């Protein structure tokens, strides 16, 4: 039925109908851009430095926040096997495998993903749930899942 309606509008002699169709298509593309591509990444995302060094206090805060907000998907030990993970596609990141395979990311990028979420996955953004400081502390904590021999 939609195809028939679109053909009628395009075949009609009124340019207004064709223009209306173009406006609707453009509006739909603009409205779904954020859903498809996620938020635009700042140009300096990788240069952003964590203002909190990974001290024992920072790691303790990061661990507390991680266990409260992240382990349900990523698992208590960061292996991507939390209770919510089974029904997710793609599966949550296994930090041990990810970091162990050499896939490390600058702190600014990790902070951005924690803040804005990951498009195309079940990873939500925590901009409104966690303070900037809490998100930076989580960055420090998840990096503890990286192998120490690197």
Q: Tell whether 23 and 88 lie within a shared domain.
A: no
Tell me the DSSP string of 118-150.
-TTSS----TTTS-HHHHHHHHHHHGGGS-TT-
Is residue 16 scored above 70 in pLDDT?
Answer: no
How many Cα neighbours within 13 Å face the side chain of 102? 0
- Asked, for residue 150, whether it belongs to a domain, the answer is no
Asked if residue 83 and residue 17 are part of one domain, the reply reads: no
The token pair that represents 23 in the structure block: 């406006």
* Neighbouring residues of 24: CB distance < 8 A, sequence distance ≥ 6: none
Summary mean pLDDT of the chain: 82
The count of domains in the chain is 2
Comparing C-alpha atoms, which of 145, 147, 131, 149 is closest to residue 51?
A: 131
Give residue 80's pLDDT band: very low, low, confident or very high (50, 70, 90): very high
pLDDT of 73 reads: 97
Distance CA 29, CA 140 (A): 37
Same domain assignment for residues 24 and 58: no
Average pLDDT over residues 61-68: 98
Which residues span the domain enclosing 72? 45-145
Same domain, 10 and 71: no
Tell me the pLDDT tens digit for each residue of 88-123. 999 999 999 988 887 789 999 999 999 999 999 999
Average pLDDT over residues 59-88: 97
pLDDT for residue 33: 44
53 and 32: one domain?
no
pLDDT in tens, 29-52: 444 444 445 556 677 889 999 999
Q: Within 10 A of 111 (CB to CB), how many other CB atoms are there? A: 20
Question: Do 24 and 50 belong together in one domain?
Answer: no
pLDDT, position 38:
52
Residue at 29 is within a domain? yes
Do 131 and 115 belong together in one domain? yes
Instruction: Report yes or no: 108 and 45 within 8 Å, Cβ to Cβ.
Output: yes
- The answer to whether residue 89 is domain-embedded is yes
**Main-chain dihedrals φ then ψ at residue 41, nearest 5 degrees:** -85, 135
pLDDT confidence of residue 30: 41
71 HSE (CA, 13 A, CB side) = 10
CA dist list (Å): 52 to 107, 108, 110, 136: 11, 12, 14, 7
Q: Are residues 112 and 87 in the same domain?
A: yes
Vertex 46: Cα angle to 141 and 131 (nearest 5): 45
DSSP 46: G
């Amino acid at each position: 039925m939609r195809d028939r309606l679109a053909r009628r509008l395009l075949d009609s002699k009124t340019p207004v109908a064709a223009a209306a169709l173009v406006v609707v298509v453009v509006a739909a593309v603009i409205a779904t851009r954020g859903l498809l591509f996620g938020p635009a990444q700042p140009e300096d995302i990788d240069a952003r430095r964590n203002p909190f060094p990974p001290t024992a206090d920072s790691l303790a805060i990061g661990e507390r926040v991680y266990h409260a907000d992240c382990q349900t998907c990523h698992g208590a030990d960061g292996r991507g096997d939390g209770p919510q993970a089974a029904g997710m596609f793609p599966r949550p990141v296994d930090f041990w495998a990810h970091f162990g395979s050499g896939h490390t990311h600058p702190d600014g990028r990790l902070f951005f993903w924690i803040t804005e979420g990951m498009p195309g996955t079940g990873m939500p953004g925590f901009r409104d749930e966690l303070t900037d400081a809490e998100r930076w502390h989580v960055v420090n904590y998840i990096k503890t899942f990286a192998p120490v021999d690197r």
